[in-house]
Chain A
Amino acid sequence: MVRQVKSNTRVIKQVVVLGGGTAGWLSACHLAKKLLPNHPDGIRVMLVDSPDIPTVGVGEGTVPAIRESLQYLGISETDLLQTCDATFKQSIQFINWQPPMADGKMHSYHHVFDYPAPGFQQDLPYWALGHAGDSSFADSFSIQSSLCDAQLAPKLITQPEYQGTCNYAYHFDAGKFGKLLCDHGVNKLGVEHRQAKISLIETDEQGNISALVTDKNERISGDFFVDCSGSQSILLGKTLQVPFVSKKHMLFTDTALAVQVPYSKPTDEIPSCTLATAQTAGWIWDIGLTSRRGVGLVYSSAHLSDSEAELQLAEYLKGTNGQRVQVEPRKIPMRTGYHQEFWKNNCVAIGLSQGFVEPLEATGLLLFDISARMLAENFPSHQELMPLAANKFNKKVRLAWDKVLDFIKLHYCISQREDSDFWQDHRQSSSMSEQLAEDLARWQWQLPNQYDFTERAAIFNLENYLYVLYGMNFKTDLSQSAYRFEQVNVAKTNFQRYADMAAQAKQQLPGHRDLLDRIQRFGLQRI
């Protein structure tokens, strides 16, 4: 489906985004925000999507960076919460990622969004040496996991939009979120929306894309193209033939079964965190929206058959809903990895067209939000700059992907689960990046610190690693350096302070559903 035409030098006047999933609309909004299509000298931004080709329809969990982006784009938090069935997310609760504990209880920990207070690293060795007693890492350095356990909201109704007592992100209905971005992009930012099915891609002799051709043979020309066509990667993968780098040897999951589950009654409490419950060959996400739950099993088809997977999901639903729900799960194939380049010639891929990693830390949206903004903020003013901008973009985005892959891998490879090949295979050193294997070897004797996290593009930092490592009971043996840590009482006072603060916050913060109900009625104020 490639047609060649003569090239001629062009100034960039028209950007075309192919695809209207979350990635497409987020990219179009970011570009329009910077390129100002409504300005007489602005660059036009058009988004083309096909009503006949559905979006992937999942992607309901986010990370706190989304708040900054939405606010930057000028979207009101009240609109998001009122129109997208959205709820607050303060953490991911990982359940069963280690074998059951000595008392037979399920293992569970929170990767919370609040970072510990500055200076916390001074207290860290004391925690590792056991001076916080039974208190978990998260409870010793933040107040948020107990708030999640109490199903409280991260903020008060009197706090302005996008501000809270604790750091937070959202769960939302992906389709409704796309619609919100679409309305905002078209009505406020000047994005042009065109609905058409693209059946042919026109390229010039230099390999630039020159136009998209619809099935009605209409030509949509542009100077720059953003491929948000989903996992098909129509422009970057299919047309420009950029190879795909598989990462399946690191992360084995390749299939998802997704279902939408009703609440048993409309007053059911809604967790303010994502639940991620490990299974024999993968894990189950459980996300509470205001209207329903979104649940799905992510698994490795090499380790688990489809029928066994369906059974596992059904068992989980039965266990968490008290009744068997008659819902047909939707099967979604997943391909872990990314394209060798994300920006080639005059085309950038953003979204599933760029690559995929299992949604364990809800990094999908994050990665394409970052890349869309990076593209918008470094948008080349003329064609000659394109290769330079591309080079930088590719390096940064690739680094971001590699860091995310390592961080996801961490969750698996420090598990001691023995109950299936899936878990044992994850501990093979051949399945880890060299960097991660090295870090883990060192961290058995030395606490992770800021020197391990110097790259600025890293999305997951020291704090995130600590929540996961020590939430998973990773052992760092400091016995040889214990003599250096004599301020035991100072550290103990600090640990106690978090406990006191948590108790106080529990008094002040409203229940999660209660706050959501009130926001539905009264909205949040901008100031």
Chain B
Amino acid sequence: MNKQISPLSPAKHRDIYIRSNDNFLQASEDQLIPLVVQEVVDAATEFPVLFVKNSSTGEFTLVAMLGLKAQQNLYCSDESEQQYDANYAPLVLRNYPFYLQQSAEQQFAVCIDELSPLVNHDEGQKLFNDNDEQTDFLKNKAESLIKFVEQQHITKGFIQLLLEHDLLHPQKLTIRLNDNDPLTIDGIYMVDQQRLENLDDKVYATLRKNGALQIIHAHLMSMKQVNRLTRRLLKSANK
């Protein structure tokens, strides 16, 4: 999808409305949706939550897997024409079409994707009132975007902690669909349970105290959700 991301200003965006986002179609070709640690426990009730490398920086990112192959998203799809029906919707999906961008002066500015189908002229929420002041809707959005940046920062720290203790390892996922050739998914990283168990007591205690352990367990359990994705795929194929 083409995007045109511009900083919000009353002059330019006084008259637009934002429709509510019912099926997150903006992500219909995204297999992997970035997560922050604060949402892992919720996301894990629906999706496999795992780690991948960013293809342009090589850095690890925490993601939810919403499809079984590149460019497949089994939740935000066009075809189903139905409302998004998962237990949880990741923050990145909900923030759309808003973004926070950092300017050269280190100032944060709220931006919008002007090409988003959610942007329109008669339906949904306004961004500015008649006095050119931000509406409560926009204020809330801005607040959650700023909070999201902090959460991303904490997420980076969490990943750093895993790497420091050598807890991540590459994992190949093999999925059997009917009688077809097994599908393998590469480039996935998980916490190594053996290494977790072998951590020295002091490190383990720190992980427990700072909440990392709960996230690790949610991540490990969530791998079972691959079955949910497989069922979903088969269901949509049989329709």
* Cβ–Cβ contact A524 & B58, under 8 A: yes
Cβ-based interface call for B55 (8 A):
yes
Interface size range of chain A in the complex: 10 to 19
Given the complex of chains A and B, what is the CA–CA distance between A314 and B25 in angstroms? 62
* Other-chain residue from B58, B166, B168, B169 in contact with A522 (beta carbon distance below 8 A): B58
Interface centre among B55, B57, B166, B189 (most CB of A within 10 A): B57
* Other-chain residue from B56, B163, B168 in contact with A518 (beta carbon distance below 8 A): B56
Cβ-based interface call for A158 (8 A):
yes
Cβ-based interface call for A240 (8 A):
no
Cβ-based interface call for B59 (8 A):
yes
Interface string of A492-527 (1 = CB under 8 A from B): 000000000000000000000000001001111111
Given the complex of chains A and B, what is the CA–CA distance between A520 and B18 in angstroms? 41
Q: In the complex, which residue of chain B has the Cβ closest to the Cβ of A510?
A: B56
Q: Find chain B residues with CB under 8 A from A66 CB.
A: none
Q: Find chain B residues with CB under 8 A from A156 CB.
A: 55, 58
Q: In the complex, which residue of chain A has the Cβ closest to the Cβ of B187?
A: A158
Q: Find chain A residues with CB under 8 A from B168 CB.
A: 527
Q: Find chain B residues with CB under 8 A from A80 CB.
A: none
Question: B13-54: which residues lie under 8 A (CB-CB) from chain A?
Answer: 53-54
* Cβ–Cβ contact A158 & B163, under 8 A: no
Interface string of B133-168 (1 = CB under 8 A from A): 000000000000000000000000000000100101
Cβ-based interface call for A70 (8 A):
no
* Cβ–Cβ contact A157 & B60, under 8 A: no
Q: Find chain B residues with CB under 8 A from A524 CB.
A: 58
Cβ-based interface call for B170 (8 A):
yes
Q: Find chain A residues with CB under 8 A from B56 CB.
A: 157, 518
Q: Find chain A residues with CB under 8 A from B169 CB.
A: 527
B169 to chain A, nearest CB (A): 6
* Cβ–Cβ contact B189 & A157, under 8 A: no
B140 to chain A, nearest CB (A): 33
* Cβ–Cβ contact B60 & A158, under 8 A: no
B190 to chain A, nearest CB (A): 11
Q: Find chain A residues with CB under 8 A from B55 CB.
A: 156-158
Given the complex of chains A and B, what is the CA–CA distance between A39 and B169 in angstroms? 31
Interface string of A96-140 (1 = CB under 8 A from B): 000000000000000000000000000000000000000000000
Q: Find chain B residues with CB under 8 A from A522 CB.
A: 57-59
Q: In the complex, which residue of chain A has the Cβ closest to the Cβ of B52?
A: A158
Interface string of B57-83 (1 = CB under 8 A from A): 111100000000000000000000000
A356 to chain B, nearest CB (A): 39
Given the complex of chains A and B, what is the CA–CA distance between A459 and B91 in angstroms? 56
Q: Find chain B residues with CB under 8 A from A521 CB.
A: 57
* Cβ–Cβ contact B57 & A518, under 8 A: yes
Q: Find chain B residues with CB under 8 A from A158 CB.
A: 53-55, 58, 187
A156 to chain B, nearest CB (A): 8
Q: Find chain A residues with CB under 8 A from B53 CB.
A: 157-158, 525
A80 to chain B, nearest CB (A): 16
Given the complex of chains A and B, what is the CA–CA distance between A524 and B58 in angstroms? 7
Q: Find chain B residues with CB under 8 A from A525 CB.
A: 53, 58-60, 163
Q: Find chain A residues with CB under 8 A from B59 CB.
A: 522, 525
Q: In the complex, which residue of chain A has the Cβ closest to the Cβ of B192?
A: A527
Q: Find chain A residues with CB under 8 A from B170 CB.
A: 527
Given the complex of chains A and B, what is the CA–CA distance between A526 and B53 in angstroms? 12
* Cβ–Cβ contact B163 & A157, under 8 A: no
Given the complex of chains A and B, what is the CA–CA distance between A522 and B163 in angstroms? 14
Given the complex of chains A and B, what is the CA–CA distance between A129 and B57 in angstroms? 46
A410 to chain B, nearest CB (A): 39
Question: A146-164: which residues lie under 8 A (CB-CB) from chain B?
Answer: 156-158
Given the complex of chains A and B, what is the CA–CA distance between A527 and B53 in angstroms? 10
Q: Find chain B residues with CB under 8 A from A523 CB.
A: 58
Interface centre among A522, A523, A524, A525 (most CB of B within 10 A): A525
Given the complex of chains A and B, what is the CA–CA distance between A525 and B168 in angstroms? 11
B83 to chain A, nearest CB (A): 35
Q: Find chain A residues with CB under 8 A from B60 CB.
A: 525
B63 to chain A, nearest CB (A): 14
* Cβ–Cβ contact B58 & A526, under 8 A: no
Q: Find chain B residues with CB under 8 A from A157 CB.
A: 53, 55-58
B105 to chain A, nearest CB (A): 21
Given the complex of chains A and B, what is the CA–CA distance between A526 and B55 in angstroms? 15
* Other-chain residue from B54, B57, B163, B187 in contact with A526 (beta carbon distance below 8 A): B163
Given the complex of chains A and B, what is the CA–CA distance between A524 and B189 in angstroms? 15
B88 to chain A, nearest CB (A): 28
Given the complex of chains A and B, what is the CA–CA distance between A158 and B170 in angstroms? 12
B73 to chain A, nearest CB (A): 22
* Cβ–Cβ contact B58 & A518, under 8 A: yes
Given the complex of chains A and B, what is the CA–CA distance between A329 and B2 in angstroms? 55
Q: In the complex, which residue of chain B has the Cβ closest to the Cβ of A158?
A: B53
Given the complex of chains A and B, what is the CA–CA distance between A525 and B163 in angstroms? 9
A contacts, CB < 8 Å to B: 156-158, 518, 521-527
The 5 closest A-B pairs by CB, nearest first: A157-B58, A522-B57, A158-B53, A158-B58, A525-B58
**Can you give 5 contacting A-B residue pairs, CB < 8 Å?**
A157-B58, A523-B58, A526-B166, A527-B168, A527-B170
Please give 6 more A-B residue pairs, beta carbons under 8 A apart, in addition to A158-B53, A522-B58: A158-B54, A158-B55, A518-B56, A521-B57, A525-B53, A526-B166
